[in-house]
Amino acid sequence: MTYSHARQVESLNQSLSEISSDINVSFEFFPPNSPAMETTLWNSIERLAPLKPSFVSVTYGAGSGTRDRTHDVIKRIQKETALLAAPHLTCIDAGREELVQIAKDYWESGVRHIVALRGDLPDSSEKPSMYAADLVELLKSVADFDISVAAYPEGHPEAPNPQFDLLNLKRKVDAGASRAISQFFFDIESYLRFRDRCVSVGIDVEIIPGILPVTNYNTLKRFAGLTNVHVPSWMPKMYEGLEDDETTRRLVGANIAMEQVKVLQKEGVKDFHFYTLNRAELTYAICHTLGIRPK
């Protein structure tokens, strides 16, 4: 390590320690589909709750069964914790009247924050009747929800070009979204360039970076291929030879995520959204490094 590089690392850590009190975090969970996964989920929520996140989101897949599990998790979080719970809601498998009823039910249940998404198409050849911007508009017509939407620093896989995708995000914001949460990424420059482009087209909400601590590189590689996420050339080398060593993989994943948040913090980012995969350990360690401790 050169003297210059050493000073840069010291500067990052010093800057982080000085403004950690200004950093906000949020966490994403998914509804369990087995008793063992349910235990893991609630252990993770219990572990992370003392960090006082801005909110916790719960994902949602196609089909009413998944939606019901999401709603059950949301209601239990509201009942048993002091956390602000935000369900994901998609519009590809429900008509407008059903979505209005779901929104009313959420509002009457005390839910005030929703993550509004189009959702994955069951058949890629079908053209959806509604998009996320339409869902945001519909939710705002029901009640004054606080709405988060998705952003794609490296472009949505279905977008014909980056500008099209950027303008689509602007439509969601113009419809009433309060913030955007980014797809996970590892190329920090892509996020920073995307943030600048958002400003250039008049998007004035926070673009919260989505942070994914990676514990299984092979799984990540498959998922990144589906979601148009660039995996830097240095990343596979970090996991090389660790196929049967989960403990070391987790340490490597935590280190990569910590370096991400350090650099992003230095660039003025104050809000981070962690994709926890229903496991608390790595997210808790990263938050500790950020200076976020149990209140």
Catalytic residue among 28, 108, 126, 246: 28
Q: How far is CA 273 from CA 32, 70, 160, in A?
A: 20, 19, 27
Q: Which domain holds residue 286?
A: 21-290
In the prediction, which pLDDT does 6 show? 53
In the prediction, which pLDDT does 255 show? 92
Contact, 206 vs 169, CB < 8 A?
no
The span from the CA of 240 to the CA of 38, in Å, is: 32
- What DSSP line would sit under 108-131, residue for residue? HTT--EEEEE----SSTTSPPS--
Residue 63 domain-assigned? yes
Residue 295 domain-assigned? no
What is the domain-level CATH number for residue 41? 3.20.20.220
Residue 6 domain-assigned? no
Domain count, the chain: 1
Reference 13, options 196, 236, 262, 225; nearest CA is 262
Residue 247 domain-assigned? yes
Q: Does residue 11 surpass a pLDDT of 90?
A: no
Residue 193 domain-assigned? yes
154: annotated active-site residue: no
Residues 6+ apart with CB under 8 A from 267: 188, 192
Q: Does residue 122 surpass a pLDDT of 80?
A: no
Residue 176 domain-assigned? yes
Q: Does residue 164 surpass a pLDDT of 80?
A: yes
Half-sphere exposure of 279 (CA within 13 A, CB side): 9
Residues 6+ apart with CB under 8 A from 171: 133
In the prediction, which pLDDT does 203 show? 97
The band of 2, judged by pLDDT with boundaries at 50, 70 and 90, is low
Return the SS3 of 148.
strand
Residue 223 domain-assigned? yes
Reference 30, options 279, 286, 285, 287; nearest CA is 279
In the prediction, which pLDDT does 18 show? 56
The span from the CA of 69 to the CA of 228, in Å, is: 28
CB atoms within 10 A of CB 156: 18
pLDDT in tens, 31-74: 998 899 999 999 999 999 999 999 999 998 655 557 788 989 99
The span from the CA of 236 to the CA of 257, in Å, is: 15
Alpha-carbon 190 to chain mean position: 16
> Which has more pLDDT, 115 or 123?
115
Residue 15 domain-assigned? no
Q: Does residue 194 surpass a pLDDT of 80?
A: yes
pLDDT in tens, 270-295: 999 999 999 999 999 989 988 898 97
> Which has more pLDDT, 166 or 21?
166
- Is the whole model's pTM more than 0.85, yes or no? yes
The band of 4, judged by pLDDT with boundaries at 50, 70 and 90, is low
What is the distance in angstroms between the CA of the first residue and the CA of the last residue of the chain?
37
